[in-house]
Structure 1
């Protein structure tokens, strides 16, 4: 019985050793290793590419491929859905290369990564409204794309960044609208009015800004503030005429 146990244990160890060798990144020249990683990146084999790129980054942190390896890792992590690693690599690259020629792309990828963290596949699949969810990733993405447009208005990524900024602005406005509606239902009428007015000031050209007038009107009526009711009703009429 003891002999069988020892044989079984040795078999497990042997198999584990074989698996480690199979999964190990080969010790080959960095140029060859990068070529393999780049080829896997192009074919969408994110996991294999990441493994080799991480090995390059670990073995040759100051080598001739170091900048490109980090840029490739940003892309590979993002495509593989490893958003925390994407953000960490972006932060590291930006810290080490504040004036790099591809900073516009890094900002763009940072925006995409933050946007992705606001998404949820199951919510999207079933059409569940996410307007009341924490907008912190959206705010971060908004800052990324805004910074990209301010610093690099002629970037290849500027046009797409503008489109995404519009979508993000609507997302943030919808969040504030959901908050105003929450205050209204909790009978926190002054808080509801303040939030509605903030939406109208910050996001005047959004649907949420128009919808906020209805909440504002109900809140003013609830506290019997006639002047506020009249002014809000005038704004609602003006918006209908546009």
Structure 2
């Protein structure tokens, strides 16, 4: 089941269970048919929204959602949340408010509603679904790697929380996939900054960035280049043993990588070869960390 199917499955169930009756729909249509234009129409509709019981509002919200009228659906769910707080209908409306906001592309509103749901109802059957909406809302806002990556960080945080709290739900597998994507994006940002320093011969600053990729994001695809850039940076600084050790870690873990071929060629061109770092060194620890990464 893909992301869209997972996200839509529960609202479809809710709509089916609600079984919006012809009486409710007929009453709604009848109300519109009896009114004439002008300010009176607005006043009557406003009064109806204020006096409708929560079950009617909820069914109207589901009917609007099913018909694709997302803005109207949101208004109905928000009305329940506002007018009938701390009721079972308010709980159901709040998760639907989060879903409808997400479907509308209003990701900040979706996140806010879903977070409030998790805070108020952490043990409910839909708490995992709310966590999933939080993660997806941040995921949809991840920009390209040249821009600030706070949304990628928020995505990783939300998806990790979902996996830890609800590992056996239908959302966990997709959360794992999107966690990896978000972490790769964060590692990519580190690489971008590291390359910026490297191009300006600020080798120490570059090394710090590349080492951070290996330390914090050892399971991402950015690690191969990070190790090559470490080899390149250390060699440029005249730190030959460190350059050899970086290339060794790269060769141990990614022997067929083009980045290892580049590192090997760099060293071989100067009569050198990769050499394993000393036990207890950062390079030895890095090798173990990468090998143990999933």
TM-score when scaled to structure 1? 0.81
Matched, 1:192 2:206: yes
RMSD (Å), alpha carbons: 2.3
User: 1:180, 1:196 within 8 Å by CA — same for their partners in 2?
Assistant: yes
Map of 2:110 onto structure 1: 86
Q: For residue 65 of structure 1, what is the aligned residue in structure 2?
A: 89
CA positional deviation for 1:162 = 1.6
1:132·1:179 contact (CA, 8 Å) conserved in 2? no
Structure 1 residue 23: Cα displacement: 7.0
1:33 counterpart = 2:68: no
Asked if residue 240 in structure 1 is aligned to residue 242 in structure 2, the reply is no
Correspondence 1:17 to 2:39: yes
On the 8 A contact 2:180/2:220 being kept in 1, the answer is no
1:132 and 1:178 in contact (8 A); partners too: yes
Match in the other structure for 1:180: 194
**Superposed counterparts of 1:161-240, under 5 Å:** 161-238=175-252, 239-240=254-255
Please say if residues 115 and 130 of structure 2, whose CA atoms lie closer than 8 Å, have aligned partners that are also in contact.
no
Measure the CA separation in 1 of the matches of 2:59 and 2:125: 22
Any residues of structure 2 matched to 1:111-126 within 5 Å, and which?
A: 111-119=135-143
Per the TM alignment, residue 102 of structure 1 is displaced from its structure 2 partner at its CA by: 1.6
1:144 to 2:178 alignment: no
Q: Distance in 2 between matches of 1:149 and 1:233?
A: 35
Alignment of 1:110 with 2:134, yes or no, is yes
Matched with 1:12 is: none
Between the aligned partners of 2:41 and 2:202, the Cα distance in structure 1 is 62
Corresponding residue for residue 11 of structure 1 = none
Aligned partners of 1:240, 1:18: CA distance in 2, in Å?
A: 76
Per-residue deviation, residues 62-91 of structure 1 (Å, max 9, x unmatched): 333010000000001111111121122122
Distance across 1 between alignment mates of 2:156 and 2:68: 28
Provide the rounded CA distance (Å) in 2 between the counterparts of 1:153 and 1:52. 33
Q: Whole-Å Cα distance in 2 between the matches of residues 171 and 133 of structure 1?
A: 11
| C-alpha displacement of 1:194 | 1.7
Gaps in structure 1 of 5+ consecutive residues: 1-14, 120-129
Unpaired runs of 5+ in structure 2?
Answer: 1-36, 258-294
Q: How many residues align?
A: 218
Cα distance in 2 for partners of 1:236, 1:202 equals 16
Q: Contact (CA 8 Å) 2:227, 2:246: kept in 1 or not? A: yes
